[in-house]
Amino acid sequence: MTETSTKRAVFYISDRTGITAEVLGHGLLTQFDGQNFEHTMLPFVDTPEKAEQALTRINLAAENSPNRPLVFSTMVNVEERNIVSKCNGLFIDLFETFQAKLEQELHTPAATVIGRAHGVPTNNSYKTRIDAINFALKNDDGANTASYIDADIILLGVSRSGKTPTCLYLALQYGIMAANYPLTSDDFDGTQLPKAVKPFHNKLFGLTIEGERLHYIRQERLADSKYASLKQCQTEIRAAENIFRAENIPFLDTSNISIEEITTSILHQTGLHRRLR
């Protein structure tokens, strides 16, 4: 931003990754529609020199816009925090605001060294996470039905109903071993479950999607193919849902929700717990 901008600058500043500041700041700002923001991450501000640099950068943005910047901070180090909090912006301190309340409740002083929200992984949690990622990669799209015995959950659904991203998200964020199995024309003769997944009924969860939405997604992939035609999409979806209902498999419509919402809904409905903390 070297010239005057009508966008309002938003900074997410932290002595660590800044992910927490970004998630909460962004969550707050989604409540304010129609505003134009320019987002900047300022991570790893963990020395007084870096804090001074960040301060300069924020103040420059303040000079170049009629609207002062918003600064969401999860700085823990007091010295660096004191430097940045003097900026010519609205400084919103996400940690300090709640710290006193929590100290009083927990009868413990908060650590004044930088937080470990995404800190040094223990060997154990590292292994859980990597094992889950490798499991999702190996068990994508019905590739490896032999290891379903080790799965926490097996997602079922037609091609492009959201199975792969959901499995990866379950693995990366929660350390959950998630496989997925595609339902194809071969499976739609009756309302029977495919042989490969039948023995794992209690691990099954279905994903479904609206016909129009699936048509749109498949068009992006293979335009004007039979695979992408609205009729084919509707037929497959109806057949898949018939199986879910006949076999009493819980299922979810992914049409209008994000990967985060699909994943959270699945955990909520199945009672599966995160393996990472």
- Give residues 157-196 in contact with a second copy (rule: CB under 8 A): 164-165, 168-169, 172
Choose between 68 and 194: whose C-beta lies nearer to a second copy: 68
208: left (phi over 0), alpha (psi -120 to 50) or beta: beta
Give the C-alpha separation, 29 to 22, whole Å: 10
- Least distance in angstroms from the C-beta of 81 to a second copy: 13
Angstrom CA distances, 50 to 43, 45, 47, 57, stand at 10, 5, 5, 11
Residue 90-109 contact track with a second copy, rule CB under 8 A, x = bound: x-x-xx-xxx-xx--xx-x-
Q: Which is nearer to a second copy, 96 or 247 (CB)?
A: 96
- Looking up tokens 């609206």 gives 210
For residues 95 and 113, give the distance between their C-alpha atoms in angstroms, rounded to a whole number: 13
Which residue in the block uniquely carries the two structure tokens 């924020």? Answer: 58
Q: Which of 1, 60, 62, 137 binds a second copy (CB under 8 A)?
A: 137
Among candidates 175, 167, 170, 165, which has minimal Cα distance to 127?
A: 175
Q: Sign of dihedral through CA atoms 130, 133, 139, 143?
A: negative
CB of residue 186 to a second copy, shortest distance in Å: 24
By CB under 8 A, is residue 121 in contact with a second copy? Answer: yes
Task: Give the closest residue to 22 by CA, choosing from 32, 11, 33.
Answer: 11
Helix (H, G, I), strand (E, B) or coil at 258: coil
Distance CA 128, CA 123 (A): 9
> In this complex, which beta carbon is closest to a second copy, that of residue 55 or of residue 70?
70
Output the smallest distance, CB 80 to a second copy, in A: 15
Taking the least distance from each CB to a second copy, the nearer of 226 and 277 is 277
> Which one, 41 or 247, has the nearer CB to a second copy?
41
Q: Which of 92, 28, 31 is nearest to 58 (CA)?
A: 92
Binding residues for a second copy, rule CB under 8 A, total 73
- In the complex with a second copy, the residue whose CB is nearer, 105 or 224, is 105
Question: In angstroms, what is the minimal distance from the CB of 54 to a second copy?
Answer: 12
> Least distance in Å: CB of 88 to a second copy?
13
Separation between Cα atoms, residue 128 and residue 45, nearest integer Å: 30
Site string for a second copy, 223-252 (x = CB under 8 A): ------------------------------
To a second copy, the closest distance from the beta carbon of 149 in angstroms equals: 20
Cβ proximity to a second copy, 196 vs 217, nearer residue:
217
Question: Is the Cβ–Cβ distance between 249 and 156 less than 8 Å?
Answer: yes
**Residues 27 to 56 in contact with a second copy, rule: CB under 8 A:** 27-35, 39, 41, 43-44
CA–CA dist 84, 62 (Å, integer):
14
Smallest distance from the beta carbon of 109 to a second copy, in angstroms? 9
Report the distance separating Cα 262 and Cα 169, nearest Å.
Answer: 10
Of the ranges 77-85, 147-155, 236-244, 253-261, which one interacts with a second copy (CB under 8 A)?
253-261
